């Protein structure tokens, strides 16, 4: 890879435009092509950022000088597009989830293993300084043995235009942060209802996970709350409890603030800088292909757990 990573961005909605802006601000990256099915949008974005090459379909992948493609199109395209990008020999950043089909995830892992191209999924909560501090406290043993964890995605998305698979789309943020803290998950059970917003499938879902370590965890997704919440996490260890950005140490029964910033929004910039730096330095990203695949599959299986009304064993990827 040359010193400058040449990037193509597919999907220029609010998400794709944010990633594009952070790549443009990285001295080691240059966005050389953009693609969106909306031709007027693609022209407008290209003009605004002075990008020479515009596309409205996957012929963007034929542009030979592109090193990495960011797939920021809607969820149903993630799997197919990531596979196509890898088949043309380019690295991929794919927004979460990696795919909506387990077969696509498996194919992506297979292609990654064959080609050694990097595939990083946009599991952005790992770039929040609060998440990083909690991870550090766990790894240093300060929380002791972790026996129970919870996290959620509580966000009023009524009116949002992508209506497929709420847990597969957004449960991945809380599930991934718990997996990062505690390790792999082996089994899931789940319940859902559609009391509010019955027009879509499973707008409110709770999933219970069993971790390989023996820890158990709960992940809630609801797209219909009154009042969106900052997406927190609660971690219960034998030596301390963390509830969002507060910690309780033994013998105090008092929660005190952790000395760190909790970014309420999306830290796109650190996420994008990290991936570009990894490509330049030839390092594996924090969310490597398997990490993205494992979190995606663990969330996609929630649909099966609801439908079959029984715990579902989560298949393990070989390291």
Residue number with the shortest CB distance to ligand NAD? 13
Q: Distance (Å, rounded) from C-alpha 247 to C-alpha 263?
A: 17
CA dihedral 124, 126, 130, 132 (to 10 degrees): -160
Q: Phi and psi (nearest 5°) for 48?
A: -60, -35
Only one of the segments 5-13, 62-70, 234-242, 253-261 lies at the binding site for ligand NAD (rule: CB under 6 A); that segment is 5-13
Instruction: Please report the sign of the dihedral spanned by the C-alpha atoms of residue 178, residue 161, residue 43, residue 87.
Output: positive
Contacts with ligand NAD, 208-247, as mask; x by CB under 6 A: ----------------------------------------
- Pick one of 6, 46, 95, 154: the residue that binds ligand NAD (CB under 6 A): 95
- Smallest gap from residue 125 Cβ to ligand NAD (A): 8
Only one of the segments 9-17, 104-112, 138-146, 216-224 lies at the binding site for ligand NAD (rule: CB under 6 A); that segment is 9-17
- Smallest gap from residue 309 Cβ to ligand NAD (A): 28
**Helix, strand and coil percent figures for the chain, each rounded to 5:** 40, 25, 40
Residue 56 or 213: which CB sits closer to ligand NAD?
56
Cα within 13 Å of Cα(281), Cβ side: 9
Q: Are 310 and 179 in contact (CB under 8 A)?
A: no
Q: Distance (Å, rounded) from C-alpha 167 to C-alpha 153?
A: 9
Contacts with ligand NAD, 10-39, as mask; x by CB under 6 A: xxxxxxx------------------xxxx-
Token code pair at residue 81: 């597009």
- Smallest gap from residue 258 Cβ to ligand NAD (A): 22
Residue 170 or 236: which CB sits closer to ligand NAD?
170
- Pick one of 128, 169, 295, 296: the residue that binds ligand NAD (CB under 6 A): 169
205 binds ligand NAD (CB under 6 A): no
Residue 311 DSSP label: -
- Smallest gap from residue 178 Cβ to ligand NAD (A): 16
Count of residues near ligand NAD by CB under 6 A: 24
- Smallest gap from residue 73 Cβ to ligand NAD (A): 4
Token code pair at residue 306: 């609801």
Contacts with ligand NAD, 48-87, as mask; x by CB under 6 A: ------------------------xxxx-x----------
Contacts with ligand NAD, 245-284, as mask; x by CB under 6 A: ---------------------x------------------
Listed in order, strand segments (DSSP E) in the chain are 5-10, 29-35, 53-55, 68-71, 91-94, 119-121, 146-154, 185-193, 204-211, 216-222, 233-237, 241-243, 246-248, 255-257, 312-313
Contacts with ligand NAD, 100-129, as mask; x by CB under 6 A: ----------------------x-x-----
Residue 13 or 28: which CB sits closer to ligand NAD?
13
Residue 123 or 146: which CB sits closer to ligand NAD?
123
Nearest alpha-carbon partner for 5 in 298, 218, 299, 274? 274
Give long-range contacts, CB 8 A cutoff, 24+ apart: 294-297.
294/179, 294/184, 294/185, 295/96, 295/97, 295/121, 295/123, 295/172, 295/175, 295/176, 295/179, 296/96, 296/97, 296/98, 296/99, 296/105, 296/121, 296/168, 296/172, 297/102, 297/105
- Smallest gap from residue 272 Cβ to ligand NAD (A): 11
Interface residues with ligand NAD (CB under 6 A) are: 10-16, 35-38, 41, 72-75, 77, 95-96, 122, 124, 161, 169, 266
């Amino acid at each position: 890879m040359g010193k400058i990573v040449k990037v193509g961005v597919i999907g220029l909605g609010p998400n794709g435009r944010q990633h594009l802006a952070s790549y443009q601000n990285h001295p080691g990256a240059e966005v050389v092509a953009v693609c969106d099915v909306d031709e007027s949008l693609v022209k407008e974005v290209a003009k605004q950022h002075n990008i020479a090459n515009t596309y409205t379909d996957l012929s963007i992948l034929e542009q030979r000088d592109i090193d990495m493609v960011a797939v920021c199109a809607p969820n149903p395209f993630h799997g197919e597009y990531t596979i196509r990008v890898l088949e043309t020999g380019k690295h991929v950043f794919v927004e979460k989830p990696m795919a909506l089909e387990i077969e696509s995830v498996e194919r992506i892992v297979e292609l990654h293993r064959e080609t050694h191209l990097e595939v990083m999924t946009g599991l952005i909560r790992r770039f929040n300084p609060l998440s990083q501090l909690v991870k550090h406290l766990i790894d240093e043993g300060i929380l002791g043995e972790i026996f129970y964890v919870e996290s959620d995605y509580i966000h009023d998305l009524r009116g949002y235009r992508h209506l497929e698979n709420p847990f597969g789309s957004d449960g991945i943020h809380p599930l991934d942060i718990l997996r990062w803290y505690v390790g792999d998950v082996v089994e899931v059970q789940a319940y859902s209802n559609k009391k509010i917003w019955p027009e879509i499938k499973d707008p409110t879902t709770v999933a219970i996970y069993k971790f390989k370590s023996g820890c158990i965890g709960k992940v809630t997704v609801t797209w219909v709350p009154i009042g969106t919440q900052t997406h927190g996490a609660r971690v219960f260890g034998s030596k301390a409890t963390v509830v969002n950005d507060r910690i309780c140490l033994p013998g105090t029964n008092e929660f005190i603030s952790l000395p760190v910033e909790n970014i309420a929004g999306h830290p796109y910039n650190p996420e994008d800088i990290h991936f570009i730096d990894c490509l330049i330095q030839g390092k594996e990203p924090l969310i490597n292909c398997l990490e993205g695949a494992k979190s995606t599959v663990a969330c996609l299986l929630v649909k099966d757990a609801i439908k079959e009304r029984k715990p579902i064993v989560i298949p393990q990827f070989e390291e």
